[in-house]
Amino acid sequence: GAGVSQSPSNKVTEKGKDVELRCDPISGHTALYWYRQSLGQGLEFLIYFQGNSAPDKSGLPSDRFSAERTGGSVSTLTIQRTQQEDSAVYLCASSLGPGQGNYGYTFGSGTRLTVV
Amino acid sequence: AQSVTQLGSHVSVSEGALVLLRCNYSSSVPPYLFWYVQYPNQGLQLLLKYTSAATLVKGINGFEAEFKKSETSFHLTKPSAHMSDAAEYFCAVSEGDTNAGKSTFGDGTTLTVKP
Q: Is A31 on the interface with B (CB under 8 A)?
A: yes
Min Cα–Cα distance to chain A from B77, Å: 19
Which of A42, A56, A101 is opposite residue B100, by nearest beta carbon? Answer: A56
Contact flag B97-A98 (C-beta cutoff 8 Å): yes
Phi/psi of residue A71, each to 5°? 60, 25
How does pLDDT run across A44-100, given as a tens digit for each residue? Answer: 999 999 888 889 999 999 999 999 998 879 999 999 999 999 999 999 999 887 766
Q: What is the pLDDT of residues B25-74, one digit of tens each?
A: 998 888 889 999 999 888 899 999 998 778 999 999 999 999 999 999 99
The whole-number pLDDT of residue A101 equals: 65
B42, B46, B100 member nearest A50 (Cβ): B100
Distance from CA of B16 to the nearest CA of A (A): 27
